[in-house]
Amino acid sequence: MTENGLSHIHRFVPATAPNLPPLLLLHGTGGDENDLLGLGQQLSPGAALLSPRGKVLENGMPRFFRRLSEGVFDEDDVRHRASELAHFVQEARQAYGLEAPVAIGFSNGANIAAALLYRHPDVLAGAMLLRAMVPLAETPAGGLQGKPVLLLSGGMDPIVPADNAARLASALSTAGADVTHEVLPSGHGLTRMDLELAKTWMAKRA
C-alpha cells in the first residue's frame, strides 16, 4: 500500500508474526520507499514494515533532508524534516495500529533516524543506524534512557569520518541510549557482516 492519505508517500507491509516491533525503514540518497523492504524482511521476518520516501530531491534523487555539500548538512532543514517525519510516524501508528517502531536507516536515512533520536526520542523504540553521521551540532536533549541503538560504521568509509561516527555514539550514550557501536572492515556499502550483526541485534528486540 502507498499513501493512504498520510503525509509521506510510503509502503506499509502488515505484520504476519505476533509481538514483533514494527520497523521504520529509511532509505539512503536516491532510494525510495521500496529500497529497504527486503532488508527489513531479512532482519525481522513477519514484522510490520513502514517505509516512507524522503521528501527532498537532490538532482532528482530522494533524500530526507537537504545538505549544503557532501557531509555538510542544512541543519535548519534537518530539524524541520525530523519534525515532519515524527508527525508521519504518529499518523501511521494511528492509521495502522502500530506500536512505536524501531528505525532501520541507511546513510541519509540513518542520519534522519539519528535526528529523530536527538529531537523526538519518544517516536522510536530503538534504532539501527547503518553508516550514520552526527546529524546536528547540538547534542541530544536526553530522554533516551535504555533505548537500544545499533551503530554500524565502515572503517574505510570515504563519506563518514571515523571520529564523526564515534562522536555520534558518544552523544547518544550520554543521552542515555544503550548504544552498540561496531566499526567494520568495509566502506560505505553494506556487507554480509552488517547483516549478521544486525540480525543478531534485532533478535534481541523480539
- Convert the pLDDT of each residue in 81-108 to its tens digit: 999 999 999 999 999 999 999 999 999 9
Q: Catalytic: 27?
A: no
In the chain, alpha helices (H): 37-43, 75-96, 108-119, 162-174, 192-203
Which domains, ranges and CATH numbers included, belong to the chain?
10-201 (3.40.50.1820)
Q: Which of 74, 77, 83, 188 is catalytic?
A: 188
Q: Catalytic: 107?
A: yes
Q: Which of 51, 120, 157, 186 is catalytic?
A: 157
- Convert the pLDDT of each residue in 94-153 to its tens digit: 999 999 999 999 999 999 999 999 999 999 999 999 999 999 999 898 889 999 999 999
d(CA 141, CA 177) in angstroms, rounded, equals 12
Is the pTM value of this prediction over 0.75? yes
Q: pLDDT category, 3, cuts 50, 70, 90?
A: low
Q: Taking the mean position of all CA atoms in its chain, how far away is CA 142?
A: 18
Q: Catalytic: 122?
A: no
As a whole number, mean pLDDT of residues 19-37 equals 97
Contacts (Cβ under 8 Å, ≥6 apart) of 55: 8, 62, 64, 81, 84
Q: Which of 107, 120, 153, 186 is catalytic?
A: 107
